[in-house]
Amino acid sequence: MGVLDGMVAIVTGGGQGVGYGIARAFADEGAKLVLTGRVLEKLDGKAEQLRAQGAEVITVAGDVRQRGAAKDTVARAIEAFGRIDVLVNNAQSTPTHVSFEQQTDEQLESVIGSGLFGTIYFMQEAHAALAKQGGSIINMGSLMGVQGGLGSGSYAAAKEGIRGVSRAAARDWGKDGIRINTICPGAKSEGFMEFFVQNPEELPKYESQLALRRFAECYEDVGRIAVYLASPDCFITGQTLHVDGGQVMP
């Protein structure tokens, strides 16, 4: 018996990195999964791996910057499984690390649209289904938003916007039994590690800030925290959890 047996979870950006790590952890605990993202082939490949764990999984291709993607994903989840218990908003376009005055409208729209607006769209569209029995929304923030980061203006705006929306909605939707929390993961996702490939001088700086002397793992560390936040045992809402090995200690 898993702690998420019988529960249905949507994971945006579930085809890689933190999203897939969370999906794996949910599958281990008996959740039924809906993976969504832009590339169907990537989603289908990960879905096969999750099915090998014994999970029931469907995939839905879509761009989270479009409200229609949220509507379609929620409708497909209910059609396939009859309910939604957990929503994980993980999808986020990779930012271009350039000085703020050089960030273009296209970059702002891509990063803020996928992160902040995608999160809002999915929260709004999933609300009615979550409110039927109560549930959990898990959103993704970032160190770059909390502390600021060189060349991360659009990304910081998206991630701090997500934290603000999460707190506000936690107040609004607590009466519906919906818990909403934010994870700021310092995890070894593909996008996170690509930053250090492009900026190798930054790696020693980051590593020196880690109290536990390592980055988080997408599955073992972030995924297991997400399982707790999703579980009926959780009595936390409106909070930010820094799963980063002690890099940020607010």
pLDDT per residue over 88-144, tens digit each? 999 999 877 789 899 899 999 999 999 999 999 999 999 999 999 999 999 999 998
pLDDT of residue 58: 98
pLDDT tens readout for residues 159-191 = 999 999 999 999 999 999 999 999 999 998 877
121 is catalytic: no
pLDDT band at 206 (very low <50, low <70, confident <90, very high): confident
The residues spanned by each domain of the chain are 8-243
What pLDDT does residue 33 have? 98
Predicted model pTM = 0.95
Architecture, CATH, for domain 8-243: 3-Layer(aba) Sandwich (3.40)
CA 126 to each of CA 89, 149, 196, 224: distance values in angstroms, whole numbers, following the listed order: 11, 32, 35, 23
Residue from 20, 121, 155, 219 carrying the catalytic annotation: 155
The model's confidence at residue 199, banded by pLDDT at 50, 70 and 90, is confident
- CA dist 235 and 237 (Å) reads 7
